[in-house]
Structure 1
Amino acid sequence: MASPRVGETDIEKKIRDLQEVEERLVVFSVDILDYHSILIALNGCSALFCCLDSSDGYDDKVVDLEVRGAINVVEASAQTESLEKMVFTSSLTAAIWRENICSEKDVDERSWSDQAFCRKMKLWHALAKTLSEQAAWALAMDRTLNMVSINAGLVVGPGITQQSPRSTMSYLQGAAQMYENGVLAYVDVNFLVDVHIRAFEVQSTCGRYFCFDRIVNTEVEAIKLAQSLSPLISLPPRYECQGSEVYAERLRTSKLNKLVDSTAFIGFSSSPPASFGCYVFLEATVRSCLSAPLLVGSPPPPPWRV
């Protein structure tokens, strides 16, 4: 697991506590801007799940840091002989932002957000994810590194909002437009972790995979999402639906569906396989990468108009 943050959260402490009961687990504190520290941490590893996320929100400076971090992680991975595959966590925001997206019928793994449009609209989270993933892919192909990327929707689940307010709100920048364009989607953290493990274990996986549970394209679904994100987003008292418009869904997950249909769901298995320990550890690390101090200030507008 690679993370750009400094300092230990409660979840990271729990991860370290796992060392006491799991002899094979070794935890490193890695600075993604320090190439050599990454190289040392990867020594002997067969898999890398790389989750880059800023705990302080996103601006133009953070964009550059995330790109540099991605390059360092990929280069170190390419130089690690024992590494079999790298699973790079990206975001749907790296694919859904550009002019006139509402005119497109299908938005899938071939789609990329437009860099100029992201800069113009100051969509720093989208720009960071777009540039860092593109840099990772360019270097991985040059170094012939076996890499797969998971483009996740807004991550939700028990405690996620409280643990990762800045990450949540960074993703939701421009949420009203995402909603109206049919590209506002979310994914449960447990399913996201399960997909990461599948992406590593299934030898045939390659390229990008869009990963989400549901597209929010009606006001009823938008309200449900807002309620799940409380207290970051709050509805007016006694709010009632104002309309019944259904926006066209543009995101496609046919590639992910093939991966999911071909393998058993790890997270809810009645008899956990050997990889279940990896599932538990990854679930904690994903939460750790998303976690941050409480957000101070007013949140942006909710993903619908009232």
Structure 2
Amino acid sequence: MSKQGEGLVVCVTGASGSIGSWLVNLLLARGYTIHGTVRNLRDEKETKHLESLEGAESRLRLFQIDLLDFDSIAAAINGCVGVFHLASPCSVDHVHDPQKELLDPAIKGTLNVLTAAKQLGVKRVVLTSSISAISPSPNWPDDKIKTEECWTDIEYCKQNELWYPISKTLAEKAAWEFSKEKGLDVVVVNPGTVMGPNIPPTLNASMVMLLRLLQGCTETYQDFFMGSVHFKDVALAHILVYENKSATGRHLCVEAISHYGDFVAKVAELYPEYNIPSLPRDTQPGLLRAKDGAKKLMDLGLEFIPMEQIIKDAVESLKSKGFMS
């Protein structure tokens, strides 16, 4: 990898998560110095895997932050030229207190990060949003492939108590509003279902979804799936939109726009020894498939790892980490 980051200091919030760890790994390989944020510096499950990455000893400094505590965020961002804001709670399961568990950390946390970035002279912020800010969008035209112009339907989500898409949509919209009003350079990545070799000892929501599928779960994730993407590609997408000053707006990040049914069929084909449920191929009503859904990122030079390889890497990772035999 080119050492484009030599001498540059950037902040990665949510550094200990599955995407965050990959991003820190690739940024270190490019020569960047990183301020990585975690929730608890004393929790080895958050810190140990980061500290063991190549280059971490000299170029990674960890900060403990609370997304609702502005001062803790400002301390981590101080001295940085760029910020990658990944930290945001993720759950596709039922939550008891959506405001406290999802909405406040996502929306207020994002605004705290952007405010600190603006005050401290940060040049560009890359925000990790989600396909959950693009879909579910039942009113999108049936004959049109979903693009970055599509936004999640908040009313539909409220009626169906889909709090995670609401949190991601409102946080992203708040970021665009802030960017426009305060003149901060913000660019967004909207990843799909992110899987692959898991660096931290804990699993992200997408890897848990795969694990449940391998154990026979028949959930179709109708409102949560739009395509899969490899951890490495999501991390690369963040770096590409940060380093390419021509990159603007939102960037859908999936290897292809596909249905969960396509994904399940591929898992079943690759791993016939597991009891994979048979699901209909069209599990995402009205979603048109597309090979180049992530055209904006492809135009920046990203060559996506195909679904088959994503699944193989993810399953092997689940086995090697002892989550399944």
- Please report the TM-score for the alignment, with normalisation by the length of structure 2: 0.66
Distance 2:38 2:175 in 1: 19
Residues 125 and 170 (structure 1), Cα distance of their counterparts in 2 relative to 1, 3 Å cut: farther
Distance 2:241 2:260 in 1: 31
Which residue does 2:253 correspond to in 1? 211
Distance 1:149 1:9 in 2: 30
Deviations 1:155-187, CA, capped at 9 Å, x for gaps: 0102379832546568999845359xxx62011
Unaligned residue ranges in structure 1 (runs of 5+) = 268-293, 295-306
- Please report the TM-score for the alignment, with normalisation by the length of structure 1: 0.70
Unaligned residue ranges in structure 2 (runs of 5+) = 1-11, 15-36, 306-322
Which residue does 1:12 correspond to in 2? 47
Distance 2:263 2:78 in 1: 45
Contact kept, 8 Å, 1:216 with 1:222, in 2: the verdict is no
Which residue does 2:153 correspond to in 1? 114
Distance 2:56 2:194 in 1: 29
Distance 2:183 2:270 in 1: 41
Contact kept, 8 Å, 1:18 with 1:25, in 2: the verdict is no
Amino acid in the other structure paired with 2:244 = V
Deviations 1:262-292, CA, capped at 9 Å, x for gaps: xxx7x9xxxxxxxxxxxxxxxxxxxxxxxxx
Deviations 1:38-93, CA, capped at 9 Å, x for gaps: 11111110111111332666632222331111111111111112x22111001011
Distance 2:156 2:297 in 1: 27
Q: Which has the higher contact order (CA 8 A, sep 6+)?
A: 1
Contact kept, 8 Å, 2:129 with 2:191, in 1: the verdict is yes
Instruction: Select which of 7, 13, 18 maps to 1:2.
Output: 13
Number of residue pairs matched? 256
Residues 72 and 174 (structure 1), Cα distance of their counterparts in 2 relative to 1, 3 Å cut: farther
Residue 214 (structure 1) shift: 2.7
Which residue does 2:222 correspond to in 1? 177
Distance 1:242 1:24 in 2: 48
Tell me, yes or no, if structure 1 residue 254 matches structure 2 residue 295: yes
SS of 2:67's partner is coil
Tell me, yes or no, if structure 1 residue 163 matches structure 2 residue 202: yes
Distance 1:244 1:135 in 2: 33
Residue 145 (structure 1) shift: 0.8
Residues 255 and 212 (structure 1), Cα distance of their counterparts in 2 relative to 1, 3 Å cut: same
Q: Mapping of 1:59-98 within 5 angstroms?
A: 59=95, 60-61=98-99, 62-81=102-121, 83-98=122-137
Instruction: Give the stretch that moved more between structures: 127-136 or 251-260.
Output: 251-260
